[in-house]
């Protein structure tokens, strides 16, 4: 612990325990008989009173900080924050999170950031939530200095799909239809982060479905609402066969800020997890000098950012880096491993008891019953949940190897 830090969390907790113990002792005294009766009383009733008193010690209290939020749902378990304010959506309430650079601990680098925010309305540095970064926030920063954020019950508590999870993905509306088809008997729906209306989230949630939200984490799409936030020097070449899309530079701090905002949006909309696409740019002709190391670091960045917001995250393709990424990701979303004879590369997910959600598009699996049966037999043997779908992912047809 930093020598200047004198955490009130320990002091407050100690005082609470002392207070409760005093109450317990006074309660026992009221029940004690007169002095002349104590010798006979002690043999009979002391064990009972001892047990009774023990119930008053709040060692297993469900709300340690008495802020009305159960510890299992509290984003600052030890510090009072009934509003659960979390301006950066990282799973830690502002009042216990002075980690302004999000590196996992509160250090002098965070002090520099706090100094820059002092006197402004910077939401992340406004720990007490009064709308202004002041000396009161400095006092909170001093207490949190040298600590990790939290503790929080939210962080680490994200959805982790089981290995046999059933799924459906629909990213476009079927021609003549208004909404995603919600009638499939599956555990998870993979839907578009931006285009899906709030009522669909409500409908899926009310039916007990988990929601995975799709967005591109490797390409600029000119029709998205945040497209204007990309800089020209963030962008590379166009994606083949996908009009209006260009690869972007995953090393760019501006790009990463936009991805963080997309993850914030996923959290705000009620997504249980995310399906970030195009995270294998280094294997494509992007027009950008991306290396395997760049991609590995970026994909881990995405996973850490998703988990810090309580979101599950799937690894989309990026087959060559699976051994180095499987521990960061909660499931795999794969396209066409059967068609290109690549399914062996996905085995690390199955070995880690994490689901492989597989998509196949080739017409031979649609029009040839024998090829379809061979595909499904192999998928079932591997433990994959394989769907044969149209490339547009518009639900114009659906063949599941599990049905």
Within a domain: 245: yes
Look at phi and psi of residue 310 and say left if phi exceeds 0, alpha if psi is from -120 to 50, else beta: left
| CATH code of residue 315 | 3.20.20.70
Please check whether residues 217 and 358 belong to one and the same domain: yes
Q: Digits of tens for pLDDT over the chain (403 positions)?
A: 333 333 333 333 333 433 444 344 444 444 444 444 444 544 455 454 444 444 444 444 589 899 998 887 899 999 999 999 988 767 889 999 999 987 778 999 999 999 999 999 999 999 999 999 999 999 999 999 998 898 887 777 899 999 999 999 999 987 666 679 999 999 999 999 999 999 999 999 999 999 999 999 999 999 999 999 999 999 999 999 899 999 999 999 999 999 999 999 999 999 999 999 999 999 999 999 999 999 999 999 999 999 999 999 999 999 999 999 999 999 999 999 999 999 999 999 999 999 999 999 999 999 999 999 999 999 999 999 999 999 999 999 999 999 8
Give the contacts of 335 (CB within 8 A, at least 6 positions apart): 316, 317, 358, 359, 360, 361
Q: What are phi and psi of 113, to 5 degrees?
A: -65, -40
The closest of 296, 346, 355 to 325, measured between CA atoms, is: 296
What domain count does the chain have? 2
Within a domain: 246: yes
Distance of alpha carbon 399 from alpha carbon 369, whole angstroms = 12
Under DSSP, the state recorded for 162 is: -
Within a domain: 72: no
**Location of structure tokens 């909404």:** 179
Within a domain: 148: no
Distance of alpha carbon 316 from alpha carbon 331, whole angstroms = 9
Within a domain: 263: yes
Within a domain: 97: no
Cβ atoms 130, 136 nearer than 8 A = yes
**Which letter, b or e, does each residue of 177-216 get, where b requires 16 or more Cβ atoms within 10 Å of its Cβ?**
eeebeeebebbbbbbbbeebeeebbeebeeeebbbbbbbb
Give the contacts of 203 (CB within 8 A, at least 6 positions apart): 182
Please check whether residues 332 and 211 belong to one and the same domain: yes
The per-residue pLDDT for 47 is 52
Distance of alpha carbon 304 from alpha carbon 299, whole angstroms = 9
Within a domain: 342: yes
- Considering Cα of 280, then 286, then 290, then 294, what sign does the dihedral take? negative
Token reading at 92 = 């830690």
- Considering Cα of 322, then 303, then 307, then 392, what sign does the dihedral take? negative
Cβ atoms 158, 312 nearer than 8 A = yes
Burial (Cβ within 10 Å: 0-12, 13-18, ≥19) of residue 348 = middle
Look at phi and psi of residue 394 and say left if phi exceeds 0, alpha if psi is from -120 to 50, else beta: alpha
User: Residue 387 belongs to what H/E stretch?
Assistant: strand 385-388
Distance of alpha carbon 393 from alpha carbon 397, whole angstroms = 9
Distance of alpha carbon 121 from alpha carbon 137, whole angstroms = 12
Token reading at 121 = 């309305």
Helix ranges, 55-144 (H): 108-117, 135-144
Within a domain: 314: yes
Residue 286 vs residues 33, 249, 255, 294, 358: alpha-carbon distances, Å: 86, 9, 15, 13, 25
Token reading at 87 = 């301006």
Please check whether residues 47 and 192 belong to one and the same domain: no
Distance of alpha carbon 344 from alpha carbon 319, whole angstroms = 10
User: In which domain, by residue range, is 26 found?
Assistant: 8-54
Distance of alpha carbon 22 from alpha carbon 327, whole angstroms = 48
The closest of 245, 248, 214 to 232, measured between CA atoms, is: 248
């Amino acid at each position: 612990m930093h020598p200047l830090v004198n955490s009130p969390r320990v002091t407050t907790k100690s005082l609470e325990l002392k207070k409760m113990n005093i109450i317990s002792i006074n309660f026992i005294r009221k029940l004690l008989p007169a002095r002349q009766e104590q010798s006979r009383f002690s043999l009979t009733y002391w064990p009972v009173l001892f047990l009774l008193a023990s119930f008053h010690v709040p060692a297993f209290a469900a709300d340690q900080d008495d802020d009305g939020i159960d510890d299992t749902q509290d984003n600052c378990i030890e510090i009072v924050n009934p509003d659960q304010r979390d301006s950066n959506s990282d799973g830690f309430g502002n009042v216990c999170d002075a980690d302004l650079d999000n590196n996992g601990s509160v250090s002098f680098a965070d002090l520099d950031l706090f100094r820059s925010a002092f006197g402004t309305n910077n939401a992340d540095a406004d720990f007490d939530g009064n709308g202004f970064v002041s000396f009161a926030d400095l006092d909170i920063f001093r207490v949190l200095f040298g600590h990790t954020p939290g503790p929080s019950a939210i962080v680490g508590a994200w959805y982790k799909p089981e290995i046999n999870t059933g799924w459906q993905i629909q990213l476009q509306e079927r021609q003549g239809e208004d909404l995603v088809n919600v009638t499939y008997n599956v555990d998870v729906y993979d839907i578009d982060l931006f285009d899906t209306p709030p009522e669909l989230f409500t409908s899926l949630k009310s039916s007990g479905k988990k929601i995975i939200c799709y967005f591109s984490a490797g390409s600029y799409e000119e029709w998205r609402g945040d497209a204007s936030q990309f800089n020209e020097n963030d962008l590379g070449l166009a994606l083949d066969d996908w009009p209006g899309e260009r690869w972007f530079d995953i090393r760019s701090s501006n790009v990463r800020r936009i991805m963080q905002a997309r993850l914030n949006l996923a959290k705000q909309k009620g997504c249980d997890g995310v399906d970030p696409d195009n995270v294998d740019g280094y294997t494509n002709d992007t027009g950008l000098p991306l290396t395997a190391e760049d991609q590995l670091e970026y994909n881990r960045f995405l996973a850490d950012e998703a988990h810090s917001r309580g979101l599950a995250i799937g690894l989309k393709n990026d087959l060559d880096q699976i051994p180095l990424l499987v521990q960061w990701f909660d499931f795999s979303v794969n396209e066409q491993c059967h068609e290109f004879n690549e399914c062996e590369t996905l085995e690390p997910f199955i070995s880690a008891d994490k689901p492989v959600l597989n998509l196949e598009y080739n017409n031979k699996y649609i029009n040839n019953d024998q090829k379809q049966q061979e595909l499904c037999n192999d998928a079932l043997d591997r433990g994959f949940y394989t769907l044969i779908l149209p490339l547009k992912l518009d639900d114009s047809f659906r063949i599941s190897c599990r049905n």
